[in-house]
């Protein structure tokens, strides 16, 4: 095989990496995830640029110099991959980021020592392939630990993801497998295994898959992020309005009841009527307590736990948040549930969020009021 093939595949990898990285950075500079993605692909681009220069070196001294810059890129690829994966999956770990950065900096400071690369020699048709020093093996462990952890985060996130998010993570996983599997073929010759890095060009395939995820499934797209936040804000607005009615009314009644009780309590004269008023106050306090408890449960982060969920209860809990807003807009709710509905397995909070979104969508589609029918049926096919 011609060494130029490997050199120019590195150049192609560098071009695709930097082009995609700068595109995302310019498009969404203020996004932490976009910046993390830029750091990651820039580390790949740095590695690939010097990979190209190293392979075209004319003498051992130049090759021995440039291969160390190649490996500086390798030091930061796992560090930036893990940082990007943690942000994307919302599993940030600042301590791990700091440890990874410090390790990469230490490796960089020793990159030009014989502890890392003891020299270069002929291996297969490569005239100046590096000979590893003792420290090199530590960098390999660091590299693979980070790659495995990043893929673990993505696989775990994929199990909980839905819709477009799931497609984005799938593309990222497929691309990561192809890119890193191909890139790892560089390690064979380091350990004197006579297999050339024939799949090194797969890094470009990795970038193409990432580009597909970005353009087809809008990964790292600021408009998608804004759309998601806009939807959540609209939902929050309806809930807040309904809670305002739900809590304001009992608070007003509590104020009225307290006004009636105070004069008698000051005179230390408690009648049967006053006891009845106190019972009503207790009922209104319980009403507020129930609302707060429901809100607390709904506000908990999705746990991703599978459990048996009562569909009717999940729908009623979702309806609880917007019932007052529906009444205010003259929307009558009709519930039609089959008796003995089976439970389904899933995350209770996610079910409630889905049903709440459906109810709010229906509410927005009924500006003049009307009847909202919510039905859950069991259908048996013979």
Per residue in 286-327, pLDDT (tens digit) is 666 665 565 555 555 555 556 788 888 888 877 876 776 777
Is residue 84 within 8 A of residue 41, CB to CB? The reply is: no
Q: Fold identical between 3-220 and 228-376?
A: no
Q: What angle do CA 326, 332, 235 make, to 5 degrees?
A: 25
pLDDT (tens digit per residue) in 173-194? 888 888 888 888 889 999 999 9
d(CA 309, CA 302): 14
Q: Does residue 76 surpass a pLDDT of 80? A: yes
pLDDT of residue 51: 93
Average pLDDT estimate for 31-35: 84
The domain segmentation of the chain, as residue ranges, is 3-220, 228-376
Q: Does residue 49 surpass a pLDDT of 50? A: yes
CATH number of this structure's domain 3-220? 1.20.1070.10
pLDDT of residue 97: 95
Q: Does residue 233 surpass a pLDDT of 60? A: no
pLDDT of residue 304: 52
Q: What angle do CA 262, 265, 270 make, to 5 degrees?
A: 120
Rounded to 10°, the helix 94-109/60-88 angle is 180
pLDDT of residue 348: 76
Answer with the residue of higher pLDDT: 238 or 210. 210
Q: Does residue 4 surpass a pLDDT of 50? A: yes
Q: Which phi and psi angles does 90 have, rounded to 5°?
A: 60, 40
Residue 61: other Cβ atoms inside 10 A: 11
Say which residue the tokens 């020592």 belong to: 113
CATH number of this structure's domain 228-376? 3.30.565
């Amino acid at each position: 095989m011609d060494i130029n093939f490997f050199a120019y595949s590195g150049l192609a990898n560098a071009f695709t990496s930097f082009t995609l990285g700068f595109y995302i950075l310019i498009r969404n500079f203020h996004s932490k995830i976009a910046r993390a993605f830029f750091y990651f692909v820039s580390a790949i681009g740095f590695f690939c640029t010097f990979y190209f220069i190293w392979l075209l070196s004319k003498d051992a001294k130049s090759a021995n110099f440039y291969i160390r810059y190649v490996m500086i890129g390798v030091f930061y690829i796992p560090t930036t991959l893990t940082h990007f994966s943690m942000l994307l999956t919302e599993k940030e770990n600042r301590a791990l980021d700091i440890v990874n950065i410090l390790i990469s900096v230490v490796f960089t400071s020793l990159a030009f020592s014989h502890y890392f690369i003891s020299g270069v020699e002929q291996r297969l048709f490569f005239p100046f392939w590096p000979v590893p020093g003792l420290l090199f093996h530590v960098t390999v462990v660091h590299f693979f630990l980070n790659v495995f952890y990043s893929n673990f985060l993505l696989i775990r996130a994929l199990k909980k993801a839905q819709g477009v998010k799931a497609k984005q993570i799938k593309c990222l996983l497929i691309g990561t497998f192809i890119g890193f599997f191909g890139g790892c073929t560089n390690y064979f010759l380091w350990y004197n295994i006579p297999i050339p890095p024939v799949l090194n060009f797969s890094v470009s395939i990795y970038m193409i898959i990432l580009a597909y995820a970005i353009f087809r499934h809008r990964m790292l797209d600021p408009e998608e992020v804004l759309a998601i936040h806009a939807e959540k804000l609209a939902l929050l607005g309806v809930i807040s309005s309904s809670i305002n009615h739900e809590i304001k009314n009992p608070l007003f009644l509590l104020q009225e009841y307290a006004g009636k009780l105070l004069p008698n309590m000051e005179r230390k004269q408690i009648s049967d009527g006053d006891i009845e008023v106190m019972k009503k106050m207790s009922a209104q306090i319980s009403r507020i307590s129930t609302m707060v408890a429901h809100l607390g449960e709904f506000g908990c982060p999705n746990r991703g736990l599978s459990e048996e969920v009562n569909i009717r209860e999940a729908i009623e809990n979702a309806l609880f948040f917007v019932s007052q807003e529906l009444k205010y807009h003259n929307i009558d709710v009709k519930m039609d549930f089959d008796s003995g509905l089976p439970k389904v397995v899933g995350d209770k909070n996610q079910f409630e969020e889905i049903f709440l979104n459906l109810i709010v969508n229906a509410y927005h589609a009924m500006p003049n009021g009307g009847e909202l029918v919510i039905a859950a049926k069991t259908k048996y096919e013979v």
